[in-house]
């Protein structure tokens, strides 16, 4: 495979040479380094590289250049190399321009000059950016193919699972298959679609997710039957909890029914998480989180679904869907929420065949040049709209409220207003969807005008709020009417402890109605549904686990 490029651009030749020297010293084994002293020449070079099929992994660009600023250069180059990481080199006085560039060109980072010593100020930042680029690099795939039609729900499920699990794959339509490796693996015999071709050339026909995961080595069987802590759900809350428990030396296992990352893994860009001024994608956050918890010894079982919980004396037992049982001193439920289904005629039949819940990241490349519809007016819908606007011809948001500002953060509303190919239909909802084996048409009801309108549509993405997935805890852990888990003081009714509670103390802050079983993040009844809140609760629950263990 051809090495990707790192492009350094600076009109000050002495600075350029210094950058080039430092980049070569560190990154030349994995990347080709190209240093260019003018933004116009650099744009020509990028055009040539793009037409040859070469990939640029990272642009490192000086902001202050007379013929074209660094931000302008990055703006021009985005359409040519959309995946490249974008880093500006700035003088202290340019930091306002750099902050502006975060929105204008989705800047990934800005570095202050001078960067000496590079080991401290340059290499860690660039290595981090390059690692993120590598993680999303579809070309670096290790020979995993998904062969299946775009409109088959099973194809979507496989793509979504591999994307969330951060397994690079290549998706191919079976019609007119030309890839020689895929053709050789499938041969002439009839193959049930969708098929997954593994790196060793073996073919899985219409496989389930568990089979794919097992064959790719994603499932780790638990190394023991008994742990200190079992964490259910590997979203931000579960990952943070596992991190703090394992750094404190508790034997911790993290059980995740899909792929680590949770809802945050669906986010194209989280911009309100402290410490990431340029934002970061949910996939990057998940990848970093999983690496971090593994480093401190957490066992991650995925995909593995918790289906039952019981309290047996001092032990808390979690049963998995494969029949295995794990026991621990303490259990933390960080199971988050799921998208609510849009219950209108046609929706269930066409789910995965043009209608998607969340899934903006997985399906965005399929929507190139198309007219995309989004239902919902909260932040998740807004992020998806911004994300799709870069590939789709048009993005239409269908919103029940009068405007976006009621339900969406101010920064996103402002962003959406500046993007010409996003439009918003307020006071409206989708009341029917139609199509043969794929979505072809949606019906929109306009409430103010009391009219209905049919529009042709190839893709509809639904982001309409969420509900917890806690039926498996029914009768064991107290839930509210919507299924959210009650914790701490919310379990007390007129000062009385919950029925069946036998301890001489009230439930701790994040403790459920079963002593030693805790709930953190979006699954809790009064949670503030944000990444930072989930990470916060996941981090502090250790304190209460410790108290519980000490005072049993």
**Interface with ligand FAD (CB under 6 A):** 232-238, 255-258, 262-264, 266-267, 270-272, 305-306, 334-337, 358, 379-380, 383, 469, 472, 521-522, 529-532, 534
Distance of closest approach, residue 16 Cβ to ligand FAD, in angstroms: 36
Contacts of 157 (CB under 8 A, 6+ apart): 209, 352
Contacts of 87 (CB under 8 A, 6+ apart): 58, 59, 60, 61, 107, 108, 109, 110, 111, 125, 126, 129
Distance of closest approach, residue 445 Cβ to ligand FAD, in angstroms: 25
Choose between 122 and 328: whose C-beta lies nearer to ligand FAD. Answer: 328
End-to-end, the C-alpha distance of the chain in Å comes to 58
Choose between 126 and 326: whose C-beta lies nearer to ligand FAD. Answer: 326
Name residue 147's beta-bridge partners.
Answer: 172, 195
Choose between 63 and 383: whose C-beta lies nearer to ligand FAD. Answer: 383
Distance of closest approach, residue 286 Cβ to ligand FAD, in angstroms: 9
Choose between 65 and 412: whose C-beta lies nearer to ligand FAD. Answer: 412
Choose between 194 and 236: whose C-beta lies nearer to ligand FAD. Answer: 236
Choose between 116 and 467: whose C-beta lies nearer to ligand FAD. Answer: 467
Distance of closest approach, residue 522 Cβ to ligand FAD, in angstroms: 4
Structural contact between residues 302 and 165, judged by C-beta atoms closer than 8 angstroms: yes
Structural contact between residues 290 and 260, judged by C-beta atoms closer than 8 angstroms: yes
Choose between 56 and 466: whose C-beta lies nearer to ligand FAD. Answer: 466
Choose between 192 and 532: whose C-beta lies nearer to ligand FAD. Answer: 532
Alpha helix stretches (DSSP H) within 194-346: 209-215, 236-247, 282-295
Choose between 18 and 335: whose C-beta lies nearer to ligand FAD. Answer: 335
Distance of closest approach, residue 133 Cβ to ligand FAD, in angstroms: 21
Taking each helix axis from N to C end, the angle separating 531-551 and 236-247, rounded to the nearest 10 degrees, works out to: 40
Report the 3 state secondary structure along 54-108: CCEEEEEEECCCCCCCHHHHHHHHHCCCCCCEEEEEECHHHHHHHHHHHHHCCCC
CA dist 443 → 424, 446, 452, 456, 462 (Å):
16, 10, 7, 9, 14
Q: What is the β-pairing status of strands 441-446 and 451-456?
A: antiparallel
Structural contact between residues 92 and 20, judged by C-beta atoms closer than 8 angstroms: no
Choose between 226 and 273: whose C-beta lies nearer to ligand FAD. Answer: 273
Cα radius of gyration rounded to whole Å, the chain: 25
Of 134, 136, 126, 124, whose CA–CA distance to 8 is shortest? 126
Name residue 418's beta-bridge partners.
Answer: none
Distance of closest approach, residue 237 Cβ to ligand FAD, in angstroms: 3
Distance of closest approach, residue 270 Cβ to ligand FAD, in angstroms: 4
Distance of closest approach, residue 478 Cβ to ligand FAD, in angstroms: 17
Distance of closest approach, residue 309 Cβ to ligand FAD, in angstroms: 9
Distance CA 80, CA 47 (A): 7
User: What burial letters (b/e) apply to 146-165, b meaning 16+ CB within 10 Å?
Assistant: bbbebbbbbbbbbbbbbbbb
Structural contact between residues 425 and 408, judged by C-beta atoms closer than 8 angstroms: no
Distance of closest approach, residue 229 Cβ to ligand FAD, in angstroms: 15
């Amino acid at each position: 495979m051809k090495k990707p490029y790192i492009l350094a651009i600076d009109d000050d030749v002495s600075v350029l040479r210094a950058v080039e020297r430092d980049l070569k010293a560190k990154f030349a084994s994995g990347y080709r380094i190209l240093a260019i002293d003018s933004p116009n020449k650099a744009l020509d070079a990028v055009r040539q590289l793009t037409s040859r099929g070469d990939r640029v992994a990272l642009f490192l660009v000086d902001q202050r250049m007379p013929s074209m600023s660094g931000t302008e250069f990055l703006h021009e180059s985005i359409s040519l190399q959309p995946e490249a990481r974008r880093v500006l080199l700035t003088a202290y006085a340019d930091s306002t321009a750099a902050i502006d560039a975060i929105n204008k060109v989705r800047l990934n980072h800005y570095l202050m000059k001078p960067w000496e010593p590079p080991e401290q100020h340059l290499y860690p930042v660039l290595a981090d950016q390059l690692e993120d680029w590598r993680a999303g690099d579809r070309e670096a795939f290790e020979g995993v193919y998904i062969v299946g039609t775009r409109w088959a729900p099973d194809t979507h499920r496989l793509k979504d699972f591999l994307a969330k699990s951060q397994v690079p794959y290549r998706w191919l339509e079976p019609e007119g298959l030309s890839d020689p490796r895929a053709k050789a693996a499938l041969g002439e015999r009839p193959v049930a679609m969708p098929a997954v071709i593994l790196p060793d050339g073996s073919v899985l026909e219409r496989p389930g997710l568990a089979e794919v995961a097992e064959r790719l080595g994603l499932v780790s069987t638990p190394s023991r039957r008994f742990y200190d802590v079992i964490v259910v759900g590997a979203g931000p809350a579960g990952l943070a909890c596992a991190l703090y428990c394992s750094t404190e030396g508790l034997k911790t296992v993290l059980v995740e029914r899909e792929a680590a990352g949770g809802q945050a893994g669906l986010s194209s860009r989280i911009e309100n998480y402290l410490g990431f001024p340029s934002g970061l994608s949910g996939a990057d956050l998940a990848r970093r989180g999983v690496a971090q918890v593994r480093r401190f010894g957490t066992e991650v079982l995925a995909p593995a679904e918790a289906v039952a919980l019981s309290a047996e004396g001092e032990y808390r037992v979690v049963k998995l869907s494969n029949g295995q049982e794990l026991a621990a001193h303490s259990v933390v439920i960080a199971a988050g929420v799921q998208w609510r289904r849009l219950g209108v005629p046609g929706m269930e039949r066409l789910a995965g065949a043009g209608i998607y819940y969340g899934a903006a990241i997985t399906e965005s490349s399929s929507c190139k040049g198309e007219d995309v519809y989004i239902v919902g007016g909260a932040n998740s819908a807004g992020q998806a709209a911004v994300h799709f606007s870069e590939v789709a011809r048009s993005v239409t948001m269908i919103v029940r409220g009068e405007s976006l500002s009621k339900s969406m953060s101010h920064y996103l509303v402002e962003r959406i207003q500046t993007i010409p190919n996003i439009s918003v239909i307020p006071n409206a909802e989708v009341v029917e969807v139609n199509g043969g084996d794929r979505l072809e048409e949606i019906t929109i009801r306009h409430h103010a005008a009391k009219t209905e309108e049919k529009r042709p549509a190839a893709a509809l993405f639904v982001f309409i709020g969420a509900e917890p997935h806690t039926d498996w805890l029914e009768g064991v852990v107290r839930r509210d009417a919507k299924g959210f888990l009650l914790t701490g003081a919310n379990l007390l009714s007129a000062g009385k402890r919950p029925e069946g509670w036998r301890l001489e103390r009230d439930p701790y802050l994040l403790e459920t109605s079963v002593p030693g079983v805790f709930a953190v993040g979006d699954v809790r009844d009064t949670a503030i549904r944000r990444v930072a809140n989930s990470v916060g609760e996941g981090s502090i629950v250790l304190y209460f686990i410790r108290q519980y263990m000490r005072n049993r």
